[in-house]
Amino acid sequence: MRPVPLVLSVLAGLAALGAAFLLYARFGAPEVTYGSLGYLVQSDRQVRIEFEVVKDPAQTVLCTVRARSAEGGQAGLALLRVGPAPQRRVVQTHELLTTVRAVNAEVTGCTPEGL
């Protein structure tokens, strides 16, 4: 192979990799972290859960919260929207209705809205 076409091929490959990196950095899935901070069983039909989400302040994410019964079955489930906020860390409290008495509650996942 002649040196000029080889150099052009390498440069084109590097340019494509650079463009892919820039596109992912701009439009790729933004990082979202979450965690349960605590819960309080309020009655046989309700549990309060407090959780945090760390995300881009302009971003909206959807979080799933779940409560479990003493037998391990699902006692309650909700999908919650956490919208834009002034800071990256957002603390949310939610009153989750349950079908039986819950023994715990947790946030099981948060994903950017629209993904």
pLDDT at 11 over 60: no
pLDDT at 23 over 80: no
Q: Are residues 65 and 101 in the same domain?
A: yes
User: What is the average pLDDT value for the chain, to the nearest integer?
Assistant: 86
**pLDDT value for 114:** 83
**pLDDT value for 9:** 65
CATH number of domain containing 60: 2.60.40
pLDDT at 115 over 90: no
Measured between alpha carbons, how far apart are the two ends of the chain, in Å?
45
Return the minimum-mean-pLDDT range out of 12-21, 22-31, 36-45, 61-70: 12-21
**What would the mean pLDDT of 95-109 be, rounded to a whole number?**
97
Tell me which residue of 39, 63, 38, 65 sits closest to 53, measured CA to CA: 63
Q: Are residues 16 and 56 in the same domain?
A: no
Q: Which amino acid is at 10?
A: V
Q: Are residues 41 and 24 in the same domain?
A: no
Q: Are residues 18 and 73 in the same domain?
A: no
**What would the mean pLDDT of 49-64 be, rounded to a whole number?**
97
pLDDT bucket at 105, cuts 50 / 70 / 90: very high
As for how many domains the chain has, the answer is 2
pLDDT bucket at 72, cuts 50 / 70 / 90: very high
Q: Are residues 40 and 17 in the same domain?
A: no
* Strand extents, DSSP E, the chain: 33-43, 46-54, 61-69, 74-82, 89-97, 102-112
| Total-model pTM | 0.73
